[in-house]
Amino acid sequence: MNDLVTLVTIVLIVFGVWLAALTLVTGLTVRQIALLTLRLSMWADQNTDQMEPTSVPSFWLDNDGPEVGSQIPVEVVKQLPELERERIYILLLSSTCTPCRKVAIEVAKHRFDPSTSIMALVPGPEDLANALIEILPPEIHTIRNPVAVSIAQSLNIKSTPFALAIENGIVVKKAYMHRSTDFSHFVEEKVPSEASKTDHSHKEVTYVS
Nearest to 96 by CA among 127, 53, 62, 58: 127
What is the share, in percent, of the chain residues with pLDDT greater than 90?
A: 39
Which of 105, 95, 88, 112 has the alpha carbon at shortest distance from 164? 88
Residue 35 has pLDDT above 60, yes or no: no
Class of domain 53-198: alpha beta
Is residue 49's pLDDT more than 50?
no
pLDDT band at 7 (very low <50, low <70, confident <90, very high): low
Amino acid (1-letter code) at residue 191:
V
Distances (CA, A) of 42 to 31, 32, 160, 161, 178: 16, 15, 26, 25, 19
* Domain limits, the chain: 2-49, 53-198
Region 154-167: what's the mean pLDDT?
A: 91
pLDDT at 144 over 50: yes
Looking at residues 82-103, what average pLDDT do you find? 90
Report pTM: 0.62
**83 exposure class (CB count in 10 Å sphere: 0-12, 13-18, 19+):** buried
pLDDT value of residue 26 = 63
pLDDT in tens, 107-142: 999 989 888 899 999 999 999 999 999 999 999 999
Identify residue 95 by its one-letter amino acid code: S
Cis ω before 73 (30° cut-off from 0): no
